[in-house]
Amino acid sequence: MKRRYDSLSKYTAPMDLREKLIGLGEVSIQKSYYPELQKRIHELEQAHQEIQQLNTDLEARVNQRTMQLEMANKELEAFSYSVSHDLKAPLRTINGFSKALLEDYAESLNEEAQDYLLRIRKASLHMGNLIDSLLVLSRSARSDLSMVRVNLSQIICELIEKSKTENRHRKIQCEIEQNVIVRGDESLLRIAMTNLIENAIKYSPPENTYIQFGTTDDTSRKAYFIKDCGIGFNMQYYDRLFTPFQRLHNDTDIPGVGIGLATVRRIIARHGGEIWAESKIGDGSTFFFSTSECI
């Protein structure tokens, strides 16, 4: 006896056993099930369209933000050019004329006038150094990274030798772990190492300047360190250490502009790493840093 179904679609397939047809299998979708299926398909199509629209909107927003970022970088570049040329030119003039006055008219000036001129020269030189440091800080944050193998040990050795030449009055000794290699931007990492080494030397006594560089696995990730035997600093003021224009020592005792460590932190951050320090007054300081990629 045949039974009829009110169906909208039907699928029939042969059924065989050992290559012998034994019957037909039939699957049909009844009309009562179709509206629910149609509703589901419609909901999926709507969801797909919404996702496509969201992706389109997101792409447009990303493009807009990219254009805004490019414009901001161009404005920063123009500002840096202005700072480098328009602001430093008057400083060079001030420094040049004050130097000429001291050299050519020193005998005509009393002691107080000579002191004033020396202060003018010192202030103009300090401002020039400050502008240079600000430019380095700015460029370290927005320059493109060129990732290569960087031998930190070699950079440290070169910086130490350069410091020995420039500071012959100092007795500089060092202990450098060899072949410490990371992956990063060589020019930026050289700037960071320069700041750390210069600080280590500057804050150490001339008769005993000892610097150590190496790696440590004491932390959860591989880290590198630069240790000195200098005057150290009070850890109570640690939160100011990497802040621009913040100095933990008096300018009259040790000159500086207070931007070096801020630049180092920015460079290390761009390499996916962190920087931190440990110190004790009179017992030196140790600066640790990490990168996202080491070799």
Q: Are 227 and 176 in contact (CB under 8 A)?
A: no
Single pTM value for the model: 0.63
Residues 6+ apart with CB under 8 A from 153: 176, 177, 178, 179, 180, 181, 213
Exposed / middle / buried, residue 26 (Cβ in 10 Å: 0-12, 13-18, 19+): exposed
Q: Are 287 and 225 in contact (CB under 8 A)?
A: yes
Please compute the mean of the pLDDT values over residues 190-213 and round it to a whole number. 90
Residue 9, SS3 per DSSP: strand
Using one digit for the tens of pLDDT, what is the confidence trace for 147-185? Answer: 999 999 999 999 999 988 888 888 888 999 999 999 999
Domains of the chain, residue spans:
75-142, 148-289
Helix-, strand-, coil-residue percentages of the chain, each rounded to 5: 55, 20, 25
Using one digit for the tens of pLDDT, what is the confidence trace for 215-231? Answer: 987 666 789 999 998 88
- H helix and E strand count, the chain: 6, 9
* Res. 31: pLDDT tops 60: no
148-289 adopts what CATH topology? Heat Shock Protein 90 (3.30.565)
Dig out the tokens for 46 from the structure.
């709507």
CB atoms within 10 A of CB 190: 16
Using one digit for the tens of pLDDT, what is the confidence trace for 258-291? Answer: 788 888 999 999 999 999 999 888 888 999 999 8
Q: What is the mean pLDDT of the chain?
A: 81
